[in-house]
């Protein structure tokens, strides 16, 4: 697994296709910091907004990682490894690792500029990023080959899910996290975050499992 992970990560790194989502996310974070309310002494809304913005970026990055190899290269990799599911899961892990790197950058910028951020605030912000990234990777698993071959459909699905996450009431996890961390005095913050994380874990697992099996049926 380690060798396969290094191969996928190095292949994506050489392609430089990860630069657009990274730069886009950095711009979003900087704009978010300039507009949000961290200067008023509450860093949680800033962390929530940056975490919510990571979800569409995670979908984008997952598609990039999943489609970095052309179909011929994918066939060679699968033949070498001996398991298509293992190859696809490794690509999803690499995509989540990339989201983790962006989380570190986002949290560092937000923590350095936010006023009055406590350790509990930072932990809540970190959890928000990781939860949103997990759902983004799971949705991205449905937008990459061989599940979805047409790029236009992948874009439409990504945009639709990203908008639904923010606009639909109680939609997990972005809308829930924005409401929870956007409150003036969040009640039972740790417990609520744990419930959202558990809910997101179940959704992520089901989406990835279904995407991998559906992809196998198409090859």
pLDDT digits (tens, 9 = 90+) for 23-43: 999 998 888 777 765 445 577
pLDDT, mean of residues 42-67: 90
pTM of the model as a whole: 0.92
pLDDT, mean of residues 206-215: 93
Q: Please state the φ and ψ torsions of residue 99, each to the nearest 5 degrees.
A: -65, -35
Query: Residue with structure tokens 């961390």?
Result: 181
Q: Check residue 39 and give its pLDDT.
A: 45
For residues 187 and 208, give the distance between their C-alpha atoms in angstroms, rounded to a whole number: 32
Q: Is the pLDDT of residue 191 over 80?
A: yes
Q: Which of 91-105, 122-136, 166-180 has the lowest mean pLDDT?
A: 166-180
pLDDT digits (tens, 9 = 90+) for 133-158: 999 999 999 999 889 888 889 999 99
Per the CB < 8 A criterion, the answer to whether 171 and 164 are in contact is yes
Query: Residue with structure tokens 């990860």?
Result: 18
Q: Check residue 196 and give its pLDDT.
A: 94
How many residues does this entry show for the chain? 219
């Amino acid at each position: 697994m380690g060798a396969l992970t290094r191969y996928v990560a190095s292949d994506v790194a050489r392609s430089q296709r990860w630069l657009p989502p990274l730069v886009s996310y950095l711009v979003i974070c900087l704009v978010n910091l300039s507009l949000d309310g961290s200067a008023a002494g509450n860093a949680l809304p800033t962390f929530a907004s940056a975490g919510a913005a990571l979800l569409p970026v995670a979908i984008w990055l997952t598609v990039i990682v999943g489609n970095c190899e052309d179909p011929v290269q994918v066939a060679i990799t699968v033949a070498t490894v001996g398991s298509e599911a293992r190859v696809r899961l490794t690509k999803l892990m690499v995509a989540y690792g990339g989201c983790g790197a962006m989380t570190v950058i986002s949290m560092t910028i937000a923590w350095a500029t936010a006023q009055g951020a406590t350790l509990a605030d930072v932990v809540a912000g970190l959890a928000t990023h990781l939860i949103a990234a997990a759902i983004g990777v799971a949705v991205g698993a449905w937008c990459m080959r061989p599940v979805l071959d047409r790029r236009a459909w992948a874009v439409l699905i990504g945009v639709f899910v990203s908008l639904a996450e923010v606009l639909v009431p109680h939609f997990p996890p972005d809308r829930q996290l924005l409401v929870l961390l956007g409150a003036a005095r969040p009640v039972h913050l740790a417990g609520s975050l744990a419930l959202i994380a558990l809910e997101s874990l179940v959704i992520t697992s089901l989406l990835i499992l279904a995407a991998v099996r559906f992809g196998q049926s198409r090859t």
